[in-house]
Every structure is written in C-alpha cells, then in structure tokens.
Structure 1
Amino acid sequence: MPANNKRVRSGWVALGVLVTVAIITLCLRWYELSTLAVNHQAIRGWLDGDGLYTYRDPGTQTGTTLPPALAILLTPLALLPLHGAGWLLALAGTAALLLVALIVAGPVARRHGQRRTPFVLGVAALALLAEPVRAVIGLGRPELLIVALVAVDLVALRRAARIRHRALAGIPALRRLPISRRWSRPGTSHPGAAHQGTSRPGITRPRPGPFRRIWTGGSWAGLGTGLAVTFSATSLLFVIYLVITRQRRAAGTALATAAAVILAALLVAPAETLAWYGTTMWELDRPAPISDPGNQSLAGVMARLYGFPAPPVLVWFSFGILLLAVGLIRARSAHTEGDEVAAFTLVGLTVAVTGPASTAAESLWMLPAVLILADTGLRRHRSARLPRQARLAGTWYLVAAAFGYLTVVATPAWSLVWNVPAATMILLVNILPSRHASPPLATTSPTRRRAAIPLPRGG
C-alpha cells in the first residue's frame, strides 16, 4: 500500500509539472515576452556602450523601466536568447509563486485542518490561472520576484512576534537567566519544556549559533522589503507601513538594505543610477500612456474619465491621499489584530490603486485578498458559536471571493473599459477583513493582562 501511494503521488507531481509547463508555454506564446524584449535590447545596448535608458522600441516607442539594481541583476539574461531568458524568468517566477503560496496559504490550511502541501499546491495552481500571474510570466516581468521578497518578511515578522509572545508568557525567573544558562542547564531542555513536561535530566542542549538565533528570531525582518524598494520604488509604502506600526527595527533594516543596494548600484553603474533617480523614474508615461485602458490605477481611471492624457493633478492627488490614508489605517488595524497577511495585502492593494500605473502585473495583491475573503467566509459560515447574521456575512464573503477570483481570472476588454479591476481593488481596500486567528501583537506594556493564547499561529 505505501508503494502504491508513492506511485500515485509521483503521478500527481508529474501531472502538475506537465500542466505548469503547458501553462507557461501558452503564456509565453500569448504575450510574446513584449516587456522582456524591450528590457533585453536595452540591457544589450547598455553592455555595448549605449545608455540603459536611451533605447526605445521601434514600434511602440516604449523604453525600459528597470531600476539600475534590477537591471544589473538581470544582465546575465541579456547574454541568452530572448526565449531562453523568458523561460528562466518564468521558472523563477513560478518558484516565487510557490513560496508566496506557502507563506500565505500555509496557516490557512492549518486553521481548517487540511494537509498543507496539497492545499498550498492547489492555491498556487489557482493563482497560476489568474490574469496577473499570466501577464507577469507572459510579458517577462519580475513582479512575482518582488512580491516574494516582500512576503519573505512575513516569515521574519511572525517569528519575531512568536518570540515576543513567548517572552511575555514564559517563566519570569527563566527569562532573567543568561542565554547560555537557558539552553545548557542540566535537567531542562528549552524554555517551553516546563509547560510540556518534556524535561530530560542530564541532557544539555548546545547554545545555538548567532546565525541560527538571527534566523529563528526573525531579526532579519525588513531585508526582503529593502530589496523590493530597490527593484520597485512603490514598495517604499511597505517601509512606511512598518514605521507607522512601530516595527522600527524592520523598517530600519529595510532602509539600510535599500541604501546599501543603491550605493552598490551607484558604484557599479553611476551614470544609469543618477539618470534613473534623477529623471527616468519620474517619467510616468514611459512604459505606456497613463490613459491607456490597461492602466487600472486611480490615475488611469481619472485620465480616461476626463479625456486627458494624464489626470488632473489636484483631483488625483486629493483622492489618492484619501485612499492612501484609508489603506494604511486599515493595514495598521489588521496588524494590531495580529493578521499580518491582511495588513501586507492592504498595503499592496493601496500601492496598486494609488500608483501612477497599475497594469495586470501590479494587481497581484488581489490574489491574497481573494484567499483572505474565502478564509473569512468559511470560518464564519462554519462557526456554530456565531449568531446567524455573522454566518450570513460569511456567505457574502464567499460570494465576494468568488467574484474577485473571476475578476482576476477573466479580464475581457469590456471590464477594462468599465474599470472593473480598478473598482474591485478600491473596494477591497475598504472592505477587506482582518482575521482574528492570533492575539494582538504585544505593543502595550507587560503589566496588562496576558493573552489567553500566548503563541500566535499565523495570519
């Protein structure tokens, strides 16, 4: 029987790999790697001695929008043929999608009593069918890698929160001991062993090394966000979120990482770095006109409503600041309630809505929003302790999740004309729920009453 199960699992894995390869092939054929083709030629011209941002596509007159650090990272792809580079970037994006699904959907599987691996693979498969993922893979864009960098910080923030809650719920005398005595006293195993009754006399545990303490303690939080800032300037809003939620260490790590990478890019390519941060980054219509129907940001919607190539600056600025404030306030509330995934998703949606350009690739944050809606709806619908109205609200959350997924899977031309993706993202910024799966983070003084469940179990 175990041998049969192993063969069945191997068959499913082989089928999944074949289907994934087929989807990637179709995406590359549909979108024809148009964005990567521009970046490919721009980097090749840069290697030949021309400026990185002087190249313009002969047909569309669009130029590359790669920041210097990302252009340096993608330089080896310019040495390959276009389709070879597209396949490598597509495989890297698929791996990043699996990592994000593991980080975001793993706790959801645990809360619903499901096996994590099949659940995560199913969520990744559904995400692979969505238009934002198809566009990123088919156009040859790096947004999946950027989202994965931001999502990696979720792991560090969860671990740091777990350490804080363990410290608040631990034995006071044990917390006052030095680290070496906590881990090497005979008769004890680890700080939580006294609660579990698993102490083993005579066994000493070695003190963990510094790198292991940094990894398990989550002190590297902010590293991924800092790298994302150098690859996409709009990711700076995640650093602002870390500041307003008083996660100062993570915010400092992000800013230090971004500064170090920008300084390194300045040393490697000084002319391109100065050109990017001086002029090119501010050319908002460089990839496409702001009024293009594919631009589903607030700026694109207003430009089309007014019939101008760009939106009225004061009107866009006023509504953009309002949406920005709503998104950050709701993200801070989600962080206070312990749902870091919802907080990051709200920040990502706010970036997509308030930024000057938001194509299908920038709307990737709608996918975790759909998962949050489905998770909230199932939990409310199945809970017998909630009143009938709350369970009915769970049904509506499930309907909203289904509508949101249909929006990101099928994006016909009429939906872009009627600005359906933009309206959906604006609505999600205002209604996306935060889940009470874990107690609020320890931001108050320890003199208050401790939480009943000291160990957070993810967002």
Structure 2
Amino acid sequence: MVAQGARRTAAQVAGVVALAVAVTAFLSVAAVRHGFFDLKVYYGALTFWVHDDGEIYDYLKPGTQYGFTYPPFAALVMLPMAYLPWPAAITVSVVASVVVSAVLIWWLLDPVSRRAGWSRWFTLAVALCLAAAYEPMRETINFGQVNMLLLFLVGLDLLRLLPARSRWAGVGIGLATAIKLTPGVFIIYLLITRRWRAAFTSMVAAVVATLLAAALFPDASREFWTASLWNTSRVGELAFVSNQSLRGVVARLDPDHPSTLAWLLLVLATLGIWAWRSRAAVAVGDEATGLALTGALMCLVSPVTWVHHLVWLIPALILLVDNAMAAPAHGPRRRALLAFAVIAYGLLISRIVWAWEKDFTGLDGFLGSNTYVWISLALLLLLPIRRWAVPVAAGPATGRPEPAGSAVEPAGVPQLVEPDRGTPTGERHRVGGPLAVR
C-alpha cells in the first residue's frame, strides 16, 4: 500500500509538472502582454493626486482617454500604492490576485475533491494551472485589475460567513460595492432571497465605507458622484469586442445608434430568469450556485463587461464539474455536464472573440464576437441547482429555507451523505441520500 501510494503521488507530481509546462507554453503563444495597463492608470492617478496635488478624477493616462473610474473608497484602499515604487506595486498586485484566487478556488473545489475521492493538493494544483490559462484570469493579471479581489470578498460572504450564520455576513459584499459599484448586484441577491440581516449589513458596510471616503476626500467624492460616474467615455467604446455584455451585443448590432430599449428589455428578461433560479438555489441551501448565477448575471447586465471581468464565471465552471461528478458514472448526464464545462472553458481560453475585433458584421460576426455572452447566458440558464432528496424546512437562525438533515459545509457546497465511504463515486447518488440535480 505504501509503495502504491508513493507511485500514485509520483504520478500526480509528474502530471502537475507536465500540465504546468503545457500551460506555460500555451501562455507564451496565446497570452497578450498588456504591461499592467490598468495598474498604471491607478498608479498614475494616485501619484498625481498624492504627490502632484492634482485631483484624482482629472488624471488621464498620457495618450489615452482612460482615467481613474472607481469610487473614492477604492482610492482610499489603493492609497498605499502611491508610496511604493512601480515594481513593488506590480508585485503586490500579482501576489494579491494569485493568493485570493487560490483561496477562492480551494473553497469551491475542496468539498468536491473530498466527495469524489480526489487528492486534495492535486485537485488544487490542476485547478490553478487551468486558471492560469483562463483568458479572463490572465487578462486580470496582465492588466493589474482588481476583479479577483472583489470576487474573493463576495465569496467570503456567500461561501463562508453566510452559511456559518456569522453576524459579519454581508460586510464583504458591502466593501466590494464601495470599491466598485457592480458587485452591488449581490446586495439585490440577498434581498430577493430574503436574507434581510446580511443584506442590511452589506448596505451599512457600503454606506459607511463611502461616507468614510467622503469625509477624508470631500472634493474627490463630490467629483465622482456628480460628474465622473456619469462620464461613460472614460471606460471605452460599448461596441468594442472586449465588451462581452448584453449591452455590447446590442451595440455591435448598430455601433452608431445602439438601442437602449432593446438592451433594457434584455436586461429585464435576464433579471427575471436570475431571480427565479437564485431563489430556487437558496431554497435548497445551494449558496455556491447562487454565487455562480449572480456572477453570470453581473457579466450580462453590466453596461460594460470587459473580458477580464469574466472571472466571475469561475464558480459556475467549477460547479459544472461538481454536478458532473455527482451524476451517475458513465451516464449521459455526466457526459453532458463535462462536455458543457470543457467546451465553455475551451472557448474562454481561446481568444475566439478577437477574430472579429475589426469586423463584427454578418451572422458569423454576431455569433462569434459575442461568444462569451452566449456562454454566460448558457450558464445562467443551464447550471444545475443541487437539490437534496429530503424535505425542506425553515432555518431557525436565518428564517430562510434549509434542507432538513443536510450537511452544508461553510464553503456553501452541499455534501453528499456517504454512509459507506467505500462506495464508488459514480454510485453514491443512489445509495447515500444524495443530491438530486436539475
């Protein structure tokens, strides 16, 4: 047994090394080097503000129309950057993104690996290699963006604090909203799923953080909330192929006169589907799927969803694999879910939308230039909700429905009941009071 375990570990180490080499080779060809463009914008704006006595929202990166577009609380959080040399700022950005990405992926994957009987370190190592090849992730790192930090704050609330019924649940969402407005959709998620205390906490956290920034930087706050917030020219062209939102789809149909009405109708329909599916997920205690659905929604309804924003789809891709492994081994459901995950991931590492960067006209342009939008829609519509084969009762502490007799780990990922740990993975759905998936 010892020798067999050693051989298995050696094989896993070799597999991880081989995968890391393959990903490195892939990145050397596929990854675009952006020179930490967005980080340079943040760094330049903060330096202009702190050391040159300028107004942070007056700064534009030389030769571009790009300036600091985040709320004043984000400037407060990033303020130490102004006192760092540029190489140190790059190091902090990269290390912070890598660390929080690893933690978030671990939260989502660890319960899955233990249920499936996978080696936990091997599972995480493979996932991190695959994440490195994921276009939105590599764009986040190469631009010096804050996406993964925000996803981590939201995940901390929904995957750890909320399932543990912590009084601090909601603070992460509130802080993420104060840093960048789009995570505010998770406050709406808490409201429509009737987690009133967490929703109230998130709103209080967002307001307190915003007021703190206003007290410290009154001029910058006045400028942002009255002028800079409404200046859409600072974020780029809506029809640019990198904008993988419903607004981008509409804009590419008619770049000169994009229909606001068509976009709003699409947003309303998408919100309706999301609210229905999110409530169904939370009703059975599937908080991870609620996170995944809301991440997909945010990508779809935001007026601007650059490719690097699609890191919010990572939870959904991981949960596709989770649902596949919970399905019968060798059955059509497992094959379909794994195929869905592989195809979605394959397209999202491929840079396929950039083939239509210069010309997105015609049927092929409509389908191809919006590929990532179609993936977001498919995940919103088709990501299974893990249902328990037990009655649902009201949770005493939160007032929301909870699966009676179920075990939900702090990561918000339901655990299969496994009275016989030796049962093969593919059989557990039949003998252990398992997940039923929809």
> TM-score, normalising length from structure 2?
0.80
Question: Which of 349, 358, 365 lines up with 2:312 in the alignment?
Answer: 365
In structure 1, give the amino acid aligned to 2:205.
T
Is 1:376 the counterpart of 2:327 in the alignment?
Answer: no
In structure 1, give the amino acid aligned to 2:344.
G
Alignment of 1:370-449 (within 5 A): 370-382=317-329, 391-412=331-352, 413-414=354-355, 417=360, 418=368, 419-436=370-387, 442-443=393-394
Counterparts of 1:234 and 1:367, CA distance in 2: 17
Counterparts of 2:299 and 2:187, CA distance in 1: 16
Alignment of 1:249-264 (within 5 A): 249-264=197-212
Distance 1:19 1:149, change over 3 A: farther
Counterparts of 1:249 and 1:106, CA distance in 2: 28
In structure 2, give the amino acid aligned to 1:365.
W
> Which residue pairs with 2:71 in the alignment?
67
Counterparts of 1:439 and 1:59, CA distance in 2: 61
Counterparts of 1:436 and 1:49, CA distance in 2: 57
Is 1:351 the counterpart of 2:292 in the alignment?
Answer: no
> Which residue pairs with 2:138 in the alignment?
134
Q: Deviations for 1:338-383, whole angstroms, at most 9, x for unmatched residues?
A: 2111111111110111001001121112222111112212321328
Counterparts of 1:441 and 1:227, CA distance in 2: 32
> Which residue pairs with 2:225 in the alignment?
277
Counterparts of 2:184 and 2:214, CA distance in 1: 19
Counterparts of 1:415 and 1:368, CA distance in 2: 27
In structure 2, give the amino acid aligned to 1:31.
H
1:454 shift after superposition: 4.0
Counterparts of 1:403 and 1:319, CA distance in 2: 25
> Which residue pairs with 1:336 in the alignment?
283
1:415 shift after superposition: 6.3
Counterparts of 2:139 and 2:329, CA distance in 1: 36
Q: Deviations for 1:228-253, whole angstroms, at most 9, x for unmatched residues?
A: 11111111110111111111111111
> Which residue pairs with 1:157 in the alignment?
162
Is 1:297 the counterpart of 2:238 in the alignment?
Answer: no
Distance 1:352 1:272, change over 3 A: same
Bigger Rg, which one: 1
> Which residue pairs with 1:236 in the alignment?
184
1:8 shift after superposition: 7.2
Counterparts of 2:65 and 2:318, CA distance in 1: 38
1:291 shift after superposition: 1.3
In structure 1, give the amino acid aligned to 2:235.
P
Counterparts of 1:334 and 1:423, CA distance in 2: 22
Q: What SS does the corresponding residue of 1:436 show, helix, strand or coil?
A: strand
> Which residue pairs with 2:108 in the alignment?
104
In structure 2, give the amino acid aligned to 1:87.
T
Is 1:307 the counterpart of 2:258 in the alignment?
Answer: no
Distance 1:445 1:453, change over 3 A: closer
In structure 1, give the amino acid aligned to 2:333.
A
Contact 1:227/1:261 (8 A) holds in 2: yes
Counterparts of 1:226 and 1:380, CA distance in 2: 36
1:46 shift after superposition: 0.9
Question: Which of 26, 42, 45 lines up with 1:42 in the alignment?
Answer: 45
Distance 1:287 1:338, change over 3 A: same
In structure 1, give the amino acid aligned to 2:232.
L
> Which residue pairs with 2:83 in the alignment?
79
User: Which segments of 5 or more consecutive residues in structure 1 lack a partner in the other structure?
Assistant: 161-217, 384-390
Count of aligned residue pairs for this structure pair: 391
In structure 2, give the amino acid aligned to 1:120.
L
Counterparts of 2:112 and 2:389, CA distance in 1: 12
Contact 2:173/2:183 (8 A) holds in 1: yes
Distance 1:96 1:424, change over 3 A: same
Contact 1:132/1:360 (8 A) holds in 2: yes
Distance 1:158 1:93, change over 3 A: same
In structure 2, give the amino acid aligned to 1:76.
P
> Which residue pairs with 2:234 in the alignment?
286
Q: What SS does the corresponding residue of 2:394 show, helix, strand or coil?
A: coil
Counterparts of 2:32 and 2:216, CA distance in 1: 35
In structure 2, give the amino acid aligned to 1:136.
T
Counterparts of 1:271 and 1:317, CA distance in 2: 33
1:91 shift after superposition: 0.5
Query: Over the residues paired in the alignment, what is the CA RMSD in angstroms?
Result: 3.3
Q: What SS does the corresponding residue of 1:252 show, helix, strand or coil?
A: helix
Q: Deviations for 1:384-404, whole angstroms, at most 9, x for unmatched residues?
A: xxxxxxx31331111110011
Counterparts of 2:299 and 2:232, CA distance in 1: 14
Q: What SS does the corresponding residue of 2:56 show, helix, strand or coil?
A: coil
1:441 shift after superposition: 6.7
> TM-score, normalising length from structure 1?
0.77
Contact 1:39/1:66 (8 A) holds in 2: no
1:95 shift after superposition: 0.3
1:52 shift after superposition: 0.7
Contact 1:135/1:361 (8 A) holds in 2: yes
Contact 1:328/1:346 (8 A) holds in 2: no
1:19 shift after superposition: 7.4
Counterparts of 1:45 and 1:343, CA distance in 2: 41
Counterparts of 2:403 and 2:181, CA distance in 1: 38
1:450 shift after superposition: 9.8
In structure 2, give the amino acid aligned to 1:357.
V
Counterparts of 1:454 and 1:346, CA distance in 2: 22
1:122 shift after superposition: 2.1
Is 1:453 the counterpart of 2:405 in the alignment?
Answer: yes
Counterparts of 1:406 and 1:20, CA distance in 2: 15
Q: What SS does the corresponding residue of 1:30 show, helix, strand or coil?
A: coil
Q: Deviations for 1:311-357, whole angstroms, at most 9, x for unmatched residues?
A: 32111111111112211221111111221111111111101110010
Contact 2:395/2:402 (8 A) holds in 1: no
Contact 2:46/2:81 (8 A) holds in 1: no
Q: Deviations for 1:107-144, whole angstroms, at most 9, x for unmatched residues?
A: 21122122333322322221121011101110011111
> Which residue pairs with 2:427 in the alignment?
none
> Which residue pairs with 1:325 in the alignment?
272
In structure 2, give the amino acid aligned to 1:105.
L
> Alignment identity in percent?
28
